[in-house]
Structure 1
């Protein structure tokens, strides 16, 4: 049994009163919906400090990436359609070797129009690449952009995806003096390419 499972078992044994999950249907009924989820997602990405690019028919994703990040030298991706990558992060054994990655290009599973978040499932060997790279490009199918977090969590379900996280724009933090720091715990720049 793993440490995680040991902890969860201890919590289960110590729990004396169990509560049923609340009925979320009333909240879901009034959840935000949008006439054009792609347009709303695009606007929200800008609002959270990221960038969204709608890939046009026939446009090469590699050209879009190299034009947007001409100074990136160390580019990581394990996606077959990405030919501008300089290395495959799955070939790295020690996640510390990913330090110094200028740009990582990854696959997004679900986009959320409500807040510009993208659901990422671990489909690389070292998930550190999602957070250690200076800049992040997320490829997202426009058919997978949903209205709100209620829809997103229903879509995610309880599948066997292992590690997963939502990323919404570049990493940022602010202290009580309202000094905003970009790139505090992850990428300084996030671009979502909607295809």
Structure 2
């Protein structure tokens, strides 16, 4: 079997085949993961979900194919619970709060990188990340006319964007260093 990338959605027929092989005692979970080229943790998650809720729960479409929107206070509660209980896995948190593992991991990352206020904000729609800004600048460069004034305006926009990106990266770097520094064990003097 060919290796399937982690973090992707898997076809329902593949999930069903893996579970049927497991339930029919064809192979143990670890060998199924190797055979189908699926991460072992994913296979374990499917098996656990199958054992708890059956095949229908494992294969049913998520909320009719629509995305679920969670209340910001719920996101904050889930994330803070997980941070207070680091020994609990994302799968366990997912089961406890009935939210997807991916969403919970995403909330935790946002909380750690941007703080609690970022979780309180409604963040729907297309992400306005820096990569999109870079593409826009490159498109403006390509469309730049021979007009010197237009060229100056475009270059000034690029400078402002790059300054904002630089400031963001500096702040992010400072937060990472601060976090690393706070996690280092302090030496005790005798």
TM over 0.5: no
TM-score (norm 1): 0.18
The structure showing larger relative contact order (alpha-carbon pairs under 8 Å, at least 6 residues apart) is 1
Q: Compare the two structures and name the one with the higher strand fraction.
A: 1
Q: Compare the two structures and name the one with the higher helix fraction.
A: 2
Structure having the higher Rg: 2
